[in-house]
Structure 1
Amino acid sequence: MSDPASQKPIPAATLVIFRDAPDAPELLMVERAKAMTFAGGAMVFPGGRIDPEDHALADLHPAVPDAAARIAAIRETVEEAGLAIGLVPRPAPDTLADLRRKLHEGVGFARALHEAELTLDLAQLTPFARWLPAHRHMRIFDTLFFLARAPHGEATVDHTENVRLTWTTARALLDEADAGRATIIYPTRRNLERLALFSTFDAAVAHACAHPIRPVTPFVELRGEIEHLCIPDDLGYPITSEPMTGALRG
Structure 2
Amino acid sequence: MSTAQLRLASTVMLVRDAPAGFEVLLLRRNKDLAFAGGAHVFPGGSVDVNDGDPTLTARCSGLDPSEADARLGVTDALRFYVAALREAYEEAGILLVVDDLRRPASDLELQLRVARRALVEGERSFAQIVQHLDLVLDVGALIYVAHWITPEGAPRRFDTRFFLARVPPQQLATPDRSEIVGEVWITPERALDAYYQGQFELVLPTVKNLEFLASFGDVETLLDAARALTSVPPIQPRFYRRPDGSVAVALPDAPEYRQASATVLASGEALPTRPATGP
Structure 2 CA distance for aligned equivalents of residues 189 and 215 of structure 1:
16
Structure 2 CA distance for aligned equivalents of residues 52 and 71 of structure 1:
11
Q: Say whether 1:248 aligns with 2:260.
A: no
Q: Please, which of 233, 236, 251 is the counterpart of residue 214 of structure 1? A: 233
Tell me the TM-score normalized by structure 1: 0.84
Q: Determine which structure has more spread, i.e. the larger CA radius of gyration.
A: 2
Q: Please, which of 116, 124, 138 is the counterpart of residue 155 of structure 2? A: 138
- Residue number in structure 2 paired with 1:120: 137
CA RMSD of aligned residues (A): 2.7
Structure 1 CA distance for aligned equivalents of residues 98 and 173 of structure 2:
15
Q: What stretches of structure 2 of length at least 5 have no aligned partner? A: 59-63, 69-76, 242-246, 261-270, 275-279
Change (3 A) 1:108 1:64: farther
Q: Say whether 1:186 aligns with 2:204.
A: yes
Q: Residue 64 of structure 1: CA displacement?
A: 4.3
Structure 1, residues 177-200: CA drift from partner, whole Å, max 9, x if none? 111111111111111111110112
- Residue number in structure 2 paired with 1:236: none
Structure 2 CA distance for aligned equivalents of residues 158 and 55 of structure 1:
24
Q: Say whether 1:48 aligns with 2:45.
A: yes
Structure 1 CA distance for aligned equivalents of residues 19 and 256 of structure 2:
31
Q: What stretches of structure 1 of length at least 5 have no aligned partner? A: 234-239
State the SS of the aligned residue for 2:21.
coil
Q: Residue 87 of structure 1: CA displacement?
A: 4.8
The worse-fitting range, judged by mean Cα deviation, of 8-17 and 98-107 is 98-107
Q: Say whether 1:84 aligns with 2:102.
A: no
Q: Residue 133 of structure 1: CA displacement?
A: 2.2
State the SS of the aligned residue for 2:192.
helix
Q: How many residues align?
A: 235
Q: Say whether 1:22 aligns with 2:40.
A: no
Q: Say whether 1:36 aligns with 2:56.
A: no
The worse-fitting range, judged by mean Cα deviation, of 50-59 and 73-82 is 50-59
Q: Say whether 1:160 aligns with 2:178.
A: yes
Contact 1:131/1:217, CA 8 A, preserved across alignment: yes
Structure 2 CA distance for aligned equivalents of residues 124 and 199 of structure 1:
20
Residue identity matched to 1:179: Q
Structure 1 CA distance for aligned equivalents of residues 145 and 208 of structure 2:
13
Q: Residue 63 of structure 1: CA displacement?
A: 3.2
Contact 2:5/2:156, CA 8 A, preserved across alignment: no
Structure 2 CA distance for aligned equivalents of residues 241 and 184 of structure 1:
22
Contact 1:64/1:122, CA 8 A, preserved across alignment: no
Structure 1, residues 1-44: CA drift from partner, whole Å, max 9, x if none? xx7x2232111111101101122210000000000000000000
Structure 1 CA distance for aligned equivalents of residues 48 and 255 of structure 2:
32
Change (3 A) 1:181 1:220: closer
State the SS of the aligned residue for 2:134.
coil
Structure 1, residues 55-82: CA drift from partner, whole Å, max 9, x if none? 1246535234121111111111111111
